[in-house]
Chain A
Amino acid sequence: MKHYKLAIKFYKEKGPRHDKNLWNIRQKRDKAIKEIDKWEQLRTKASEIKEYVIEHLEELIEEFTKNAKKQGIEVYYAKTKQEHNEIILKLLKEKKAKKVVKSKSMLTEECDLNEFLKENKIEVIDTDLGERIVQLRGEKPSHIVLPAIHTTKEEVAKILNETNSDPTYLTHKMRKLLREEFLTSKAAITGANFLIADKGFAVVCTNEGNADLGVTLNKLHIISVGIDKLLPSIKDLGIFLRMLARNATGQKITTYTTIFGKPTNQKRVIILVDNGRIKRKKSEFKETLKCIRCSACLTTCPVFRRSGGHAYRYIIPGPIGSLLAPLVDKEEYKDLPFACTLCGSCEMVCPVKIPFSKQLINMRKYVTKNKIMKIAEKSIHSDKTFKLFSLILRLTPKPLLQKAFKEWSKYKKLPNIPQKRFISL
């Protein structure tokens, strides 16, 4: 089902509440960034650092690998998601781990790791409360920072067989249930928010402490991370830590920001995952590699707030997902760059200045295979052919036009057809 159909369904059931909750977070974010007097300068710096990272990606991978090994961390490079999953399976088998606790990692979702390990008879417990809720519901996260934002407290109570739907009660009940899982697990998998090339560190930010609990309780810690998370030096990290939580949820910082280096009494493994990133670096969409997954573009997007994340069907929804999904499967996700009003709100809040408007228009072109549409687009840019189109449309009886544009005219009145191009007025 395409985005707009799923969006209509979601909006009728949950749209207004979802919209309101996310808008509250956007307002908190605005307040939090105003507390920093040089926010715009920070954005510029962050954007420049990320541009540098994209240009020097291969060198930084090499430098990071060398320094992480010096810290006593095992480093693997996975070209594809299959390679990533196989490495994890091998590591878990070596440890005879039948149960693994995982903290939130969009990368393992991108790699379909849960399904893969399940097929290989290894139990994966998602430990982020929101992600555990969606796992128990048999769903995927609908938002990259707030995975269960689409659910109600009554729905959470239902999956726990509880009649009490008080959020504090439910949260503490989940804590108790998950504590059992933590104590009986044999390995921990986390993602990473940043990799520090000059030190060989991996940095993980959480509010719940689930990543830290999993890591400190287990003898094996696997970090799955995309190569786009690299930063050249620890100095750069300071800039991103000032921005990430403020821009994501309006917090000054997440409760826990862990810098993982030399392991003590445990084995630490980092899997650097490419899965199309090097190819993307060479494409017109390379700027999407700047993304730090703060989720501000989702939270602010007027379409996302009303449609919910599942309407996008890809693991990363919203404006950034609309750029990433068609690169994974052009046919399946070709509707996504059109699930957008080009309002530019995503571009305004992006901490690394991804040029969303331009990229979304380019993505529309990228997914449009239809020859007629391409000819139409070309001709509409010439005064002469525009006049011809305009004449044909004006001569067509209105009811016929309405029928031809029935999806458009369902919610809006058809406009009067202009005689001249906007640009020539």
Chain B
Amino acid sequence: MEEFIKNWETAGGEILTTIPKGWYVIEGKFGIIESGAVWVEEYNKEMFLSEKLAIKMPKKFVNNMEEAMELIENSGIFISGPSKTADVESFLVYGAHGPFKCGIYFI
């Protein structure tokens, strides 16, 4: 779990202890330690239009993407931190098109 959190934070993600007001909440299924990503089966416009996104998820993890594939049956999305880009002179900026902030709230 520690390594997952480290990798998630490297991707610009946060760990939430409460869900602050105004954050759009979705449900995550499990985390991928090596990638610092969360598997999410919801898929709607609010997830990308909102400025702050909270992912509620259980403390369930797989080691890497190869293990993750065993658990995937239908469509969905891996999310790793907030939307980002480095297209203006290689300078990393959060909030390219999607959320500026993205946090995990463990249940």
Binding site for B on A (CB under 8 A): 21, 24-25, 35-36, 127-130, 133, 146-149, 151-153, 156, 167-168, 170-172, 175, 178-179, 182, 201, 207-210, 212-213, 216-217, 234-235, 237-239, 241-242, 249, 251-262, 264
Binding site for A on B (CB under 8 A): 7, 10-11, 32, 34-37, 43-45, 47-49, 64-70, 72, 74-91, 93, 95-99
Shortest C-beta distance, B107 to chain A (Å), equals 23
Find chain A residues with CB under 8 A from B45 CB.
213, 216-217
Q: A178-B97, A182-B97, A256-B77 are in contact. List 18 more A-B contacts (CB 8 A).
A: A36-B34, A133-B87, A151-B89, A167-B89, A171-B85, A207-B84, A207-B96, A209-B96, A209-B98, A213-B45, A217-B45, A234-B69, A235-B70, A239-B65, A253-B32, A253-B35, A259-B77, A264-B43
Find chain A residues with CB under 8 A from B68 CB.
238
- Complex CA gap A208/B79 in Å reads 11
Cβ-closest 10 pairs across A and B:
A209-B98, A238-B66, A130-B87, A167-B91, A261-B75, A208-B96, A216-B45, A238-B69, A253-B35, A257-B78
Which of chain B's residues has its CB closest to A218's CB?
B45
Given contacts A21-B90, A24-B90, contact A175 B96 (CB under 8 A): yes
Find chain A residues with CB under 8 A from B75 CB.
201, 258-262
Say yes or no: A216 contacts B43, CB within 8 Å: yes
Which of chain A's residues has its CB closest to B76's CB?
A259
Find chain B residues with CB under 8 A from A237 CB.
65, 69
Query: 16 A-B Cβ contacts within 8 A?
Result: A129-B96, A146-B90, A156-B89, A167-B89, A171-B88, A171-B91, A175-B96, A201-B75, A207-B83, A213-B49, A216-B47, A252-B10, A253-B35, A253-B80, A255-B82, A256-B83
**Which residue, A129, A251, A257, has most C-beta atoms of chain B within 10 A?**
A257
Given contacts A127-B97, A209-B48, contact A253 B36 (CB under 8 A): yes
Say yes or no: A208 contacts B85, CB within 8 Å: yes
Q: How many A-B pairs fall under 8 Å by CB?
A: 162
Which of chain B's residues has its CB closest to A147's CB?
B87
Given contacts A235-B69, A253-B35, contact A209 B97 (CB under 8 A): yes
Which of chain A's residues has its CB closest to B8's CB?
A252
Find chain A residues with CB under 8 A from B48 CB.
209, 212-213, 216
Say yes or no: A262 contacts B79, CB within 8 Å: no
Q: Which of A167, A210, A212 contacts B88 (CB 8 A)?
A: A167
Find chain B residues with CB under 8 A from A242 CB.
34-35, 64-66
Given contacts A170-B88, A242-B65, contact A255 B76 (CB under 8 A): no
Say yes or no: B65 contacts A210, CB within 8 Å: no
Find chain B residues with CB under 8 A from A210 CB.
96-97
Say yes or no: A129 contacts B85, CB within 8 Å: yes
